[in-house]
Amino acid sequence: MLVLNSGSSSLKYRLLSGAERLASGTVERIGEPGSPVADHRAGLEAVAARLAADGLGLDSPELTAIGHRVVHGGTAFTRPTLITDEVVRGIGELVPLAPLHNPANLAGIEVARRLRPDLPQVAVFDTAFHATIPPAASTYAIDREVAARLGVRRYGFHGTSHAYVSREAALLAGGPEANVIVLHLGNGASASAVSAGRCVDTSMGMTPLEGLVMGTRSGDLDPAVVLYLARTGGMSLDEIDTLLNRRSGMLGLCGDNDMRAVTERLSEGDPDAELAVSVYCHRLRKYVGAYYAVLGTVDVIAFTGGVGENSALIRERALAGLGALGITVDPVRNARGDTLVSAEGGAVKVAVIPTDEEFEIARQTLSVVSRTNRG
Ligand code: ADP
């Protein structure tokens, strides 16, 4: 099985046999000035060439399916879906909701379908895991007619990661019935509340801008700030879009969006880095408290993503002061990055679980292909 994660300027791939990784990599700088990779077709040809060099051609008869990551499935796609012309059209219709991501995902799908029209290809949507969120959590309190006409509601993102990590976390708590809070902290960041395998709330909304403080995104903000920046600040909508999505978050607060650089500056006593980390961790703690309340009881809090998996400091500071909720972090286990970093006897397990989105896409692709074959 081949998994393709096609972004605006990159193409990540993994070739798997069952759970075993045969090959993986990233083709970068697609379509950028001076890049040898002009477009997604050239990108996929580069992938094919790399695989062929390893004796694993894209034309191999042993390839049984291709799984594609698609960012936005809207309300139309709430499960992994066998790709047909109609599905391609449906993904295209969602471009207004994900103008940067869905066209790139589609480019990958179109090229792969042209290269291997004989193979089943499956779209796995970032939003799908959040389709179970009840209306109380997915509905914005705005005029219902406007919201319905324009599809304004909370969809949530990073779904394949939340699905994978919440399932692994539940195993640590003894079974699939567990209540789990997942904190996916990468460049983008999101939290989710998962009960017995079903997502019941998540921090990203109609777009990935809502929720936690991220590398370059603000996360939660008084919506009137946008109006104020336009009316009083004289900024255009595109300028505000760029400000909130690309120049905010850790970058906006301290000038660095790479958490390694930020925590290094923090250890040198840099006050901007200190403020940025305290805003980042305060927001995380608020979401943990909120999702504790949403779930009623919590069995596991799972950290994942580049920051969540690697930064003991962020894990410790995000959960500081939550002992009354049974949430404690053991400093020694945390510094070692053990799978379980909670203190012995804590009511809530705190876990570090490396995410594996490509594996999850392969798993979901396989489930569709075997269902189709049976049918
Ligand atoms: P993406 O969202 O692009 O997939 P990742 O999940 O790979 O991102 O996470 C990238 C982030 O992880 C970066 O901000 C990087 O600084 C951070 N990171 C990686 N290793 C460490 C570390 N040892 N300490 C702190 N942050 C780290």
Q: For 2-125, which CATH superfamily applies?
A: ATPase, nucleotide binding domain (3.30.420.40)
11 has pLDDT over 80: yes
What's the token pair of residue 323? 């002992």
Spatial distance between the Cα atoms of 213 and 196, rounded to a whole number of angstroms = 27
Asked if 2-125 and 174-356 have one fold, the answer is yes
% of residues, the chain, pLDDT over 70? 100
User: Is it the case that residue 375 has pLDDT exceeding 80?
Assistant: no
Mean pLDDT of 292-310: 98
Confidence band of 18 (pLDDT split at 50, 70, 90): confident
Closest CA to ligand 1's atom 13? 258
Looking from the CA of 54 toward its CB, the CA atoms found within 13 Å total 13
Region 174-356: CATH code: 3.30.420.40
- Alpha-carbon gap, residue 13 to 322, rounded angstroms: 40
Ligand 1 shell residues, CB under 6 Å:
186-188, 215, 258-260, 263, 305-307, 310-311
- What lies within 8 Å, CB to CB, of 48 at 6+ separation is 57, 58, 59, 115
- For the segment 147-206, what is each residue's pLDDT rounded down to a tens digit? 999 999 999 999 999 999 999 999 999 889 999 999 999 999 999 999 999 999 999 999
- 3-state secondary structure at position 328: coil
Q: Are 38 and 29 in contact (CB under 8 A)?
A: no
Q: What is the mean pLDDT of the chain?
A: 95
Q: What is the 3-state secondary structure (H, E, C) of 279-316?
A: HHHHHHHHHHHHHHHHHCCCCEEEEEHHHHHHCHHHHH
pLDDT of residue 166: 98
Distance 101 CA to ligand 1 centre (A): 20
Angle at the Cα of 158 from the Cα atoms of 153 and 162, rounded to 5 degrees: 110
pLDDT, mean of residues 107-128: 94
pLDDT of residue 41: 85
Confidence at residue 52, expressed as pLDDT on a 0 to 100 scale: 87
Looking at residues 94-108, what average pLDDT do you find?
90
Asked if the model's pLDDT at residue 273 lies above 80, the reply is yes
**How close is the Cα of 308 to the center of ligand 1, in Å?**
8
- Per-residue H/E/C for 167-235: HHHHHHCCCCCCEEEEEEECCCEEEEEEECCEEEEECCCCCCCCCCCCCCCCCCCCCHHHHHHHHCCCC
Distance of CA 63 to the CA centre of its chain: 27
pLDDT for 7 equals 80
Phi and psi angles of residue 328, each rounded to the nearest 5 degrees, phi first: -135, 150
Q: Which of 272, 266, 268 is nearest to 251 (CA)?
A: 272
CA gap 331, 342 in Å, rounded:
9
Categorize the per-residue pLDDT at 6 as very low, low, confident or very high, splitting at 50, 70 and 90: confident
Quick check: 204 and 190 in contact, CB under 8 A?
yes
The mean pLDDT value for 125-152 works out to: 97
**What's the CA gap between 151 and 276, in Å, rounded?**
33
Report the range out of 43-52, 58-67, 168-177, 268-277 with the highest average pLDDT: 268-277
**Statement: residue 106 has pLDDT above 80:** yes
Average pLDDT over residues 331-337: 97
Catalytic residues: 126
Residue 8: predicted pLDDT: 76
Tokens representing residue 13 in the block: 């791939």
Flag whether pLDDT at 56 surpasses 90.
Answer: no
Judged against a pLDDT cut of 90, whether residue 48 lies above it is answered with no
The span from the CA of 73 to the CA of 80, in Å, is 10
Per-residue pLDDT, 53: 86
Contact assessment for residue 133 and residue 201, using Cβ atoms and an 8 Å cutoff: yes
pLDDT digits (tens, 9 = 90+) for 191-237: 999 999 999 999 999 999 999 999 999 999 999 999 999 999 999 99
Least confident of 3-17, 174-188, 338-352: 3-17
Backbone angles phi, psi at 55, to 5 degrees: 75, 25
Q: What confidence tier does 281 reach under pLDDT thresholds 50, 70, 90?
A: very high
4-13, 32-41, 100-109, 117-126 — most confident range = 117-126
Which helix or strand (DSSP H or E) is residue 41 part of? helix 40-53
99 falls in which pLDDT band (50, 70, 90)?
confident
Indicate the pLDDT class of residue 373, thresholds 50, 70 and 90. Answer: confident
Q: What share of the chain is helix, strand, coil (3-state, %, to 5)?
A: 45, 15, 40
Provide the 8-state DSSP code for 203: S
Mapped onto helix, strand or coil, the DSSP state of residue 182 is: strand
Residues at the binding site for ATP are 12, 184-188, 258-260, 306-310
For a pocket test of ligand 1, which of 185, 259, 262, 263 has the largest count of ligand atoms closer than 8 A to its C-beta? 259
Distance in angstroms (rounded) separating the CA atoms of residues 172 and 182 = 13
Closest protein CA for atom 22 of ligand 1 = 310
Pocket mutation for ligand 1, best pick of 9, 246, 260 (most atoms within 8 Å of C-beta): 260
Domain locations in the chain?
Answer: 2-125, 174-356
CA nearest ligand 1 atom 12, residue = 306
